[in-house]
Amino acid sequence: MVKSPAGSNRLRRVLLLAVVGLGVAAAQKWDPACYPIRVPRLVKPPRIDGDLSEWKYVAFTDGAWDILRVRQARWYDPTINRLTDHANEPPPEDDLQARYYMAWDDRHLYLGAEVKDNVNDVTDPHHEPKRWYFKDAICWFVEAPRDEIPEKFTAGDHAFCFVIDVKKPPYGAWWRHGLPGKDYVEEPLPKSAVDYAIRMNPWGRSKGDFILEARVAMAPTFGTGDPKWHAPRIGDVYGLEIVHTDPDGGDYGGHLLIYGNGDDDSTWGRMILTGPSQPIERKPN
Ligand SMILES: [Ca+2]
Ligand SMILES: [Ca+2]
Ligand SMILES: [Ca+2]
Ligand SMILES: [Ca+2]
Give 256 Cα–ligand 4 centroid separation in angstroms.
Answer: 12
Ligand nearest to the CA of 46: 1
Please report the pLDDT score of residue 3 as a whole number: 47
Number of domains into which the chain is organized: 1
Q: Over 60: is that where the pLDDT of 19 sits?
A: no
Please report the pLDDT score of residue 1 as a whole number: 41
Please report the pLDDT score of residue 6 as a whole number: 54
Which segment of 140-149, 170-179, 225-234, 251-260 scores lowest on mean pLDDT? 251-260
Residues whose CB is under 5 A from ligand 1 (ion)?
Answer: 46-47, 49, 51
Which segment of 2-6, 111-115, 150-154, 245-249 scores lowest on mean pLDDT? 2-6
Give 192 Cα–ligand 4 centroid separation in angstroms.
Answer: 28
pTM: 0.90
Instruction: With cut-offs at 50, 70 and 90, classify the pLDDT of residue 11.
Output: low
Instruction: With cut-offs at 50, 70 and 90, classify the pLDDT of residue 87.
Output: confident
Give 36 Cα–ligand 3 centroid separation in angstroms.
Answer: 16
Please report the pLDDT score of residue 24 as a whole number: 46
CATH number, domain containing residue 105: 2.60.40.1190
Q: 1 in helix, strand or coil?
A: coil
Instruction: With cut-offs at 50, 70 and 90, classify the pLDDT of residue 253.
Output: confident
Instruction: With cut-offs at 50, 70 and 90, classify the pLDDT of residue 75.
Output: very high
Q: Over 60: is that where the pLDDT of 15 sits?
A: no
Give 196 Cα–ligand 1 centroid separation in angstroms.
Answer: 10
> Is residue 7 domain-resident?
no
> Is residue 16 domain-resident?
no
> Is residue 247 domain-resident?
yes
Please report the pLDDT score of residue 20 as a whole number: 47
User: Which of residues 125 and 178 earns the better pLDDT score?
Assistant: 178
Cα 137–Cα 34–Cα 217 angle in degrees, nearest 5: 40
Please report the pLDDT score of residue 26 as a whole number: 45
Please report the pLDDT score of residue 25 as a whole number: 47
Mean pLDDT of 220-226: 98
Please report the pLDDT score of residue 260 as a whole number: 97
Give 151 Cα–ligand 3 centroid separation in angstroms.
Answer: 5
Give 225 Cα–ligand 1 centroid separation in angstroms.
Answer: 29
Mean pLDDT of 27-33: 80
DSSP secondary structure of 121-141: ----TT--TT-GGGSSEEEEE
Ligand nearest to the CA of 156: 3
> Is residue 116 domain-resident?
yes
Ligand nearest to the CA of 135: 4
> Is residue 283 domain-resident?
no
Please report the pLDDT score of residue 252 as a whole number: 81
> Is residue 62 domain-resident?
yes
Please report the pLDDT score of residue 251 as a whole number: 78
> Is residue 1 domain-resident?
no
Ligand nearest to the CA of 97: 2
Dist. CA 200–CA 206, nearest whole Å: 9
> Is residue 170 domain-resident?
yes
| E-only strand ranges, the chain | 37-40, 64-66, 96-104, 108-117, 137-143, 157-163, 173-179, 182-188, 194-200, 210-217, 237-246, 254-258, 269-274
Domain that holds residue 241: 37-274
Q: What is the pLDDT of residues 154-207, one digit of tens each?
A: 999 999 999 999 999 999 999 999 999 999 999 999 999 999 999 999 999 999
Give 173 Cα–ligand 2 centroid separation in angstroms.
Answer: 20
Which segment of 79-93, 187-201, 203-217 scores lowest on mean pLDDT? 79-93
Phi and psi at 284, nearest 5°, equal -65, -30
Ligand nearest to the CA of 121: 4
Dist. CA 178–CA 27, nearest whole Å: 33
